[in-house]
Amino acid sequence: MVDELLQSGWLFPLIDILLVAAIVYRVLSLVHESTAIRILVYLPMLLAASLLAQLSGLISTAWLLDRFLAILLLVLVILFQYDIRRALLSLSRSRVAGSVETDHGESETGAILEQLAAAAFSLSDRRIGALIVIEREMSLDQFMEVGTDVDAKVTSEIISSIFLPYSPIHDGAVIIQRGKLTKAGCFLPLTQNLDVAKELGTRHRAAIGLTELADALVVVVSEETGSVSVVSGGKITSNLDPVHLRKLLRRMVEPRWLS
Amino acid sequence: MNLSALLCEKFKLKALSLLCAAFLWLFVTMEGTDELELPLAVGFVNAPEGTVVRADSLPKLSVTVSGTRILLLRQKFRGAVARLDLAGALPGTVEFVALERYVRLESGLRPLRVSPRNVSIILEKTSPAGTR
């Protein structure tokens, strides 16, 4: 069969097509499947339209499509900048997953999450705003450059004291990595999503913004209403009571820390 | 994981990637330059009144054209024509040299060579039978 293909002159074009298909697939696997499919539907259509325009002598249409194809890569980067950013960030996923300390037993992880929930509701009762980020598989190192090193055990008292209004590091978010409170006063990227409810303030927008880019889980305590919310994957679950918060944290964090 | 499971996983994305790669290959191939030999038809313009070109005096002509494959494909459908200007020609043998100059092609294509490069045609007076 290879001999036949070699003789017909189709072997190398076939290898060429399969290699390009593999590269396209690998690159687009990094972005959302729906985004990738949109790109993959439009790109062949544009290429085919350009060829047809040239074949049928539509000079200006062919010229326009040719110029558009020449800058297509740039256009794709602009159109899908958030997906690309998320994809690039996800490249660090395996590094963190491989370095997760697995010495946390189920009971210890449960205790950490319990402290976290207690801190959230203690702050909520006093109408003190808080932003608590829990790293899961994806590294959050690039969001921690501005923060202050803490490196402490996660306790309700420490978290509460960080967010007290007269604390010098109460502004920004605290970050919990591998079961330890590693940073405080970190600034998170705000969401650019215009569909986010207007009543949500900067703290909630920062939580949504971060979770759009990373797989982290964020607990937000509203300063105005005292409501406790959990944000993951850009989606917010608001007005949680202690039981639901604990359940949610156990379901969304515990399996990742114990894996 | 067996081969069918590997193929079925994200099948839509894989199939579209293959389609995209095939179109890209086609596009790049068609945008590449090549040469093509085409039969060359000849058209005469401005023939003096009362004269006619003897049909058997014209040899079979061909032209080699260079350009992008897509334009060559288009030219192949349309065919290549050389327009020979007979203005001021007298009955007898008329010689045309460097026929590439007379070949009309799609913009973006250029004639590399015409075979034969020079032709001589015989211009005859039309028979007076039909005239008063």
> Would residue B41 count as lying in a domain?
yes
Partner-chain residue, chosen from A44, A50, A57, that has the shortest CB–CB distance to B20? A44
Do B74 and A54 lie within an 8 Å CB cutoff? Answer: yes
Q: How is chain A split into domains, by residue range?
A: 2-79, 96-258
CA distance B86 to B76: 27
Both structure tokens of A148: 């202050």
- Number of folded domains in chain B? 1
Helices (H), chain B: 3-8, 11-31, 69-78
Helices (H), A126-214: 156-163, 202-213
Q: Which fold has domain A96-258?
A: YojJ-like (1 (3.40.1700)
Q: Report the CATH number that the domain containing residue B41 is assigned in CATH.
A: 2.170.120.30
Q: Is B131's pLDDT higher than 60?
A: no
Contact B52, B126 (CB under 8 A): yes
Give the gap in angstroms from C-alpha B5 to the nearest C-alpha of chain A: 17
Contact B84, B125 (CB under 8 A): no
User: A71 in contact with B at a CB cutoff of 8 Å?
Assistant: no
The radius of gyration of chain B from alpha carbons, rounded to an integer in Å, stands at 25
Q: Is B14's pLDDT higher than 50?
A: yes
Task: Enumerate residues 8 to 67 of chain A having a beta carbon within 8 A of any beta carbon in chain B.
Answer: 13, 16-22, 24-25, 28-29, 33, 36-37, 40-41, 43-44, 47-48, 50-51, 54-55, 57, 59
pLDDT at A11: 84
The radius of gyration of chain A from alpha carbons, rounded to an integer in Å, stands at 24
Query: Degrees (nearest 5) of the Cα angle A54, A71, A88?
Result: 135
pLDDT at B132: 44
Estimate the crossing angle of helix A156-163 against helix A106-125, to 10 degrees: 30
Phi, psi of A220 (to 5 degrees): -120, 130
Q: Which of B1-10, B30-39, B114-123 has the lowest mean pLDDT?
A: B1-10
pLDDT at A257: 66
List pLDDT tens digits, range B27-56.
Answer: 899 888 999 999 999 988 888 888 888 877
* Closest chain B residue by Cα to residue A49: B27
**Chain B residues touching A57 at Cβ < 8 A:** 74, 106
Do A17 and B18 lie within an 8 Å CB cutoff? Answer: yes
Three-class secondary structure of residue B88 per DSSP: coil
CA dihedral sign, ordered B53, B57, B60, B65: negative
The size of the A-B interface in CB pairs under 8 A is 73
pLDDT at A132: 94
- Confidence class for position B67, pLDDT limits 50, 70, 90: very high
Interface predicted TM-score (ipTM) of this complex, two decimals: 0.71
Do B26 and A20 lie within an 8 Å CB cutoff? Answer: no
pLDDT at B1: 58
How deeply is B10 buried, as exposed, middle or buried, from its count of CB atoms within 10 A (0-12, 13-18, 19+)? middle
CA distance A227 to A127: 9
Mutation for B interface: A18, A19, A24, most B CBs within 10 A: A24
Range of the domain at B39: 31-125
Per-residue pLDDT of chain A (259 residues; tens, 9 = 90+): 777 777 777 888 899 999 999 988 887 777 666 677 777 788 888 888 988 998 888 889 988 998 888 888 888 888 777 777 777 776 655 445 444 444 556 677 888 888 999 999 999 999 999 999 999 888 888 787 788 898 899 899 999 999 998 888 888 899 998 888 999 999 888 887 777 888 888 899 999 988 888 888 999 999 889 999 999 888 899 899 989 988 888 888 876 666 6
What's the whole-number mean pLDDT along residues B112-120?
A: 90
List pLDDT tens digits, range A141-191.
Answer: 878 778 889 889 989 999 999 999 888 888 889 999 888 899 999 988 888
pLDDT at A83: 72
Instruction: Please state the pTM of the whole predicted model.
Output: 0.59
